[in-house]
Amino acid sequence: MTQNLDPLLIKNRKLLPIVQGGMGVGISANKLASAVARENAIGTIASIDLRHLHPDLLAKSKEIPVQENYDILNRIALDREIKAAKAQTNGQGMIAVNVMKAVSDYSALITQACESGADAIVMGAGLPLELPDLAADHPDVALFPILSESRGINIVLKRWMKKNRLPDAIIIEHPNHAGGHLGSPSMTDLNNDRFSFRRVLEETSQVFKQLGLENEKIPLILAGGMANFKKIQTALKDWGASAVQIGTAFAVTQEGDAHINFKKTLSEAKEEDIVEFMSVAGLPARGILTPFLKKYLNNEQKLQANAKADPRRCVQSMNCLSVCGLRDGISKIGQFCIDQRLSDAFNGDVRKGLFFRSKDPLPFGDQIRTVYETIQYFLTGQKPVMPG
């Protein structure tokens, strides 16, 4: 193992201690996930609205523009992406599928992912209490809940133990560093000390002891702000974490599934361009202050004041989230179609798109490098010679 790091052990597999985070819409699909897996790490496909990678499915969406048809087509897309990724891994690593608890059809997506051959299911954006039930017919599929504090870990473990199932790993995500939707009830709470990695690791160790799980050796994976060699060394060697999960740094690699404009927008963003805001899902989110987001935030109070429940206002997915500020008329949270804005970002539309991004520096600045080079830096600290 590079730099004397212990391997990440999942289902008797020895893997590099690197997990690529799931990023939707379409940012982490078969190309990125398989490239990460070929390095013997865990590549992750984001299950959200993968139709956008398949022109024939988008065409069928327009023919029958109703939610039931969208859901069916998204599951077909997920099946294609998983099988394409698995075919390109050369038998290395694992292919995981990220499913958000916040989407309305999460249970069907989990079933589809398992049936299509995913090696693992990663679930966040809500407590994944029923995940063992949904994956019960597929015991070989690893299950990774995403949580941000020890209280949530305690709740999930107790519920899962009643179902005679334990997580194959737990991803601990720090809301003050991650990109996308953040595991905090409010923006003022993002930097609360209860989310600090060292505290969560220590408290989780106590939770394991209280529940009699101290000998189970459940891997703990740190996510958020970890795209840095020294931070990874500290997390794995000093804090006792088993692996790290990294998103944005993989999104901007050559193998990333999104448009080149998407990669450039993420890689060229300055610290002052990265902001937190309330998403339509009722969670804080972090992204880049693009023309869309700047205009939206300038008009946010007016839009919230005029919020009203009206499904006809939904542009594309109608019922993509179980809770949606725009569709449901919830005035305190976001008032835009997140599916449309993320789709625009995937297609490289800097003017209309919503670009999620972590706030920490990227390892190669504005350079777009390969997955191999990125992982080598994470594990050795060595950077390739930069052009120019």
Q: Is 283 domain-assigned?
A: yes
- Examine residue 25 and say whether the peptide bond preceding it is cis (omega within 30 degrees of 0): yes
In the numeric block, the tokens 């594990």 are attached to: 379
Q: By residue range, what is the domain housing residue 373?
A: 2-266+360-380
Which pLDDT belongs to residue 197? 95
254 and 280 fall within a common domain: no
Number of domains comprising the chain: 2
* In the predicted structure, residue 316 carries a pLDDT above the cut 80: no
Mean pLDDT across the chain, nearest whole number?
92
In angstroms, the CA 6 to CA 15 distance is 9
H-assigned helices in 53-149: 55-63, 67-87, 106-115, 131-134
327 and 227 fall within a common domain: no
233 and 274 fall within a common domain: no
In angstroms, the CA 221 to CA 211 distance is 20
Q: Is 386 domain-assigned?
A: no
160 and 89 fall within a common domain: yes
Of 6, 48, 57, 17, nearest in space to 171 by CA: 17
Which pLDDT belongs to residue 317? 47
Q: Is 355 domain-assigned?
A: no
142 and 47 fall within a common domain: yes
Top-confidence residue, 86 or 104: 86
In angstroms, the CA 95 to CA 222 distance is 18
User: How many other C-beta atoms lie within 10 A of the C-beta of residue 196?
Assistant: 14
Structure tokens at 280: 């339509």
286 and 183 fall within a common domain: no
Cα-based angle 266, 268, 273 (whole degrees, multiple of 5): 75
In angstroms, the CA 9 to CA 168 distance is 9
Which pLDDT belongs to residue 387? 66
Which residue type is seen at 186? S
Which pLDDT belongs to residue 66? 81
Q: Is 103 domain-assigned?
A: yes
72 and 37 fall within a common domain: yes
Which pLDDT belongs to residue 315? 55
* In the predicted structure, residue 313 carries a pLDDT above the cut 70: no
Q: Is 85 domain-assigned?
A: yes
In angstroms, the CA 144 to CA 128 distance is 9
9 beta partners: 14
For range 149-160, the mean pLDDT: 96
Q: Is 212 domain-assigned?
A: yes
In angstroms, the CA 340 to CA 347 distance is 11
194 and 285 fall within a common domain: no
262 and 290 fall within a common domain: no
**What is the tens place of the pLDDT at every residue in 243-294?**
999 999 999 999 999 999 999 999 999 999 999 999 988 889 999 999 999 9
**What is the tens place of the pLDDT at every residue in 357-384?**
999 999 999 999 999 999 999 999 999 8
**What is the tens place of the pLDDT at every residue in 106-122?**
999 999 999 999 999 99
Is the distance from CB of 131 to CB of 152 less than 8 angstroms? no
Q: Is 108 domain-assigned?
A: yes
* CA dihedral for 283, 338, 106, 359, sign (positive or negative): negative
Gyration radius (Cα) of the chain, Å: 20
In angstroms, the CA 172 to CA 201 distance is 9
129 beta partners: none
235 and 157 fall within a common domain: yes
16 and 129 fall within a common domain: yes
Of 14, 1, 2, 20, nearest in space to 246 by CA: 20
For range 75-82, the mean pLDDT: 97
Could you tell me the pTM of the whole model? Answer: 0.94
CATH of residue 372's domain is 3.20.20.70
Q: Is 297 domain-assigned?
A: yes
Helix axes 106-115, 67-87, angle to 10 degrees: 30
364 and 315 fall within a common domain: no
